[in-house]
Amino acid sequence: MSTKWLTRLQILLTFFLIVSCFGALSMLFSTVVIAFVGTTNGTGVPLRVFDVPITGMAAPDAVIKSASADVTVLPSGPAPLVGLLFLLLWAPGVVTTLLALFTVVRALSRASAGDRALFSAVTAAHLRRLGWILIIGSLATGLLGVVAERMLASMLLSRSYPFYAPPGEVLAGVVAGVAMLAVSEIVRRGLALLEETEATI
Amino acid sequence: MTDPTIRVRLDELLKERDMTLTELSNRVQITVVNLSILKNGHARAIRFSTLMRLCDALDCQPGDLLRYDRP
């Protein structure tokens, strides 16, 4: 079968991987600046704010029940602890994304060697690894994010909340991870069937 | 301890009939590679159609071809 589109997908994902690496480096640079230099108009810490004033925002025949907003807070002067917490806020998600992309690119790199190389135990192992990366990475991102956001909010905002719900991406990541584990098992069992057929004379 | 195996007695039958694996391959239209897999006991299964062609070419019964080896 033609593997042209898979090769193109691999090139596209490799490009995304490189861009993501640069993005991660720039985030790391921003974190270092926040921690040791201080920013006055550069990158700040993104936080969620609830109970935003909403007076006069609703149309005459509508009522706004609750509101939340994303704010970017710039700590004045060097703030090592804020930098560390900011690192915990973004790094797990970014590392999970980079590892997942790298695993997919590695799995797709076998496509050029033919269908039999792609539909193999190595690909099943790559998919299983991808599944666990997504599950563990998403859970770590959610857990560390909740703790880091709670502490950052108490340090940088005049009013904070005891619990900040993790974003929906965390659940999506876990679901995608479980799906990858299922696909890996399907490939593994399909391979066993194929080997059985191939070994029949 | 080795597992029990089904052995394909191609070697013995070919020797009895003074036939080579290549000749058999030409008669039954099965590649020498696949016949070697059968002969060396690396096959997982054998099709009835393959068995029929082998029995036809070697003028034998399936029971003459297959042997159950106890460990």
A189 CB-near residues (< 8 Å, 6+ apart): none
Residue range A92-104: average pLDDT? 95
Domain ranges, ordered by start, for chain A = 4-43+76-198
Residues of chain B with pLDDT under 70: 1-2
The per-residue pLDDT for A188 is 94
Other Cβ atoms within 10 Å of B57 Cβ, number: 19
pLDDT (tens digit per residue) in A8-42: 899 999 999 999 999 999 999 989 988 888 776 66
Per-residue model confidence as pLDDT tens digits over B16-34: 999 999 999 999 999 999 9
For A199, the closest of B30, B35, B45 (CB atoms) is B45
Average pLDDT over every residue of A185-195: 92
Closest-CA residue of A relative to B31 is A201
Please report the pLDDT score of residue A88 as a whole number: 94
Q: Is A193 on the interface with B (CB under 8 A)?
A: no
Q: What is the pLDDT of residue B1?
A: 60
**Interface subset of A 86-105, CB within 8 angstroms of B:** none
Task: Report how far apart, in Å, the C-alpha atoms of A192 and of each of A188, A189, A199 are.
Answer: 6, 5, 11
Number of domains, chain B? 1
Across the interface, whether the CB atoms of B50 and A201 are under 8 A apart is answered yes
Write the single-letter amino acid at B7.
Answer: R
CATH number assigned to the domain comprising residue B48: 1.10.260.40
Q: Express each pLDDT in A164-186 by its tens digit.
A: 778 888 999 999 999 999 999 99
Q: How much is the pLDDT for A3?
A: 72
* Region label for A91, one of left (φ > 0), alpha (ψ between -120 and 50) or beta (otherwise): alpha
Chain B residues whose beta carbon lies within 8 Å of the beta carbon of residue A199: 37, 42-45
CA distance A194 to chain B (A): 12
Query: Which of residues A51 and A105 earns the better pLDDT score?
Result: A105
pLDDT of residue A111 exceeding 80: no
Residue percentage of chain A with pLDDT more than 70: 97
Mean pLDDT of A195-199: 83
Give the structural domain span for B14: 5-69
Residue of B nearest to A201 (CA): B46
**Confidence at residue A180, expressed as pLDDT on a 0 to 100 scale:** 96
| Number of residues in chain B | 71
User: A158 pLDDT exceeds 70?
Assistant: yes
Please tell me which residue, A44 or A51, carries the higher pLDDT value: A44
Q: Is the pLDDT of residue A57 over 90?
A: no
Bridge partners of residue B71, in order along the sequence: none
